[in-house]
Amino acid sequence: MSLDAFSQYFGELEDPRQSAKISYPLFDVLFLTVCAVIAGAEGWEDIEDFGEVHLDWFQQKGLFPDGLPVHDTIARIVSRLDPTQFQQCFIQWAQSVNERTEGELIAIDGKVLRGSYQRESRRSAIHMVSAFATGNGVVMGQLKTDAKSNEITAIPALLKLLDIKGCLVSIDAMGC
């Protein structure tokens, strides 16, 4: 998710907090919240957990230099926003993402190949990660994961193989 594009739509969202009491920038908390929800977070604690797991990534982007807020703080900040204003920003941002990607969606998912486990030789089942272009129904690429690994390590390698610049990429919760 591009910080610039996100900022373009959410940067002007009114922060209802008293300026003297702000410890965490509204933009940082909103970016964390939207990223976490897109990744499958279903509550404030999930959002906090997502932030903790990905704190290095957020800090590389210049966010949360002093660490993350706890889930209660995230909830307080987000719940004070004007819902109509937030919804308007979110819809405009989502529409811009769809326009920039020309609606092209690449779905990344891992699967265990049925029948690949061999009981006699105790060979593990084969686990593959695939990139599927939903618009035209084509598998753009696949990689077999290492025997002692999972799809999290194979996804970056698969993405490097593909020409997906400008596409919207979705990854299930296992890949986050």
Look at residue 128 in the predicted model and tell me its pLDDT.
82
Instruction: Count the domains in the chain.
Output: 2
Regarding whether 21 and 74 lie in a shared domain, the answer is: yes
Nearest CA to 159 among 143, 138, 135?
A: 143
pTM equals 0.62
Regarding whether 94 and 8 lie in a shared domain, the answer is: yes
Mean residue pLDDT of the chain comes to 83
Regarding whether 87 and 138 lie in a shared domain, the answer is: no
* 150 pLDDT more than 80: no
Edge-to-edge strand order for the sheet containing 127-133?
138-144, 127-133, 105-112, 168-171
Regarding whether 170 and 112 lie in a shared domain, the answer is: yes
Which of 100, 127, 150 is the last residue in one of the domains? 100
Regarding whether 142 and 79 lie in a shared domain, the answer is: no
Regarding whether 53 and 132 lie in a shared domain, the answer is: no
CB 146 within 8 A of CB 153: yes
Look at residue 154 in the predicted model and tell me its pLDDT.
83
Regarding whether 96 and 11 lie in a shared domain, the answer is: yes
Regarding whether 59 and 118 lie in a shared domain, the answer is: no
Look at residue 117 in the predicted model and tell me its pLDDT.
62
Provide mean pLDDT across the span 169-175.
74
Regarding whether 96 and 26 lie in a shared domain, the answer is: yes
Least reliable range by pLDDT among 1-10, 120-129, 165-174: 120-129
Q: Which residues pair with 130 in a beta bridge?
A: 109, 142
Regarding whether 37 and 113 lie in a shared domain, the answer is: no
Look at residue 122 in the predicted model and tell me its pLDDT.
67
State pLDDT tens for residues 9-52: 888 888 888 888 889 999 999 999 999 988 888 899 999 999 99
62 vs 91, more confident: 62
DSSP 75-124: HHHHHTS-HHHHHHHHHHHHHHHHHHTTT-EEEEEEEEPTT--BTTTTBP
What range does the domain containing 126 cover? 105-175
Dihedral of CA 62/68/71/73: which sign?
negative
Which of 100, 118, 143 is the last residue in one of the domains? 100
Task: Give the span between the Cα atoms of 1 and 28, in whole angstroms.
Answer: 13
Provide mean pLDDT across the span 143-164.
78
- With b for 16 or more beta-carbon neighbours within 10 A and e for fewer, the 123-154 pattern comes to eeebbbbbbbbeeeeeebbebebeeeeebeeb
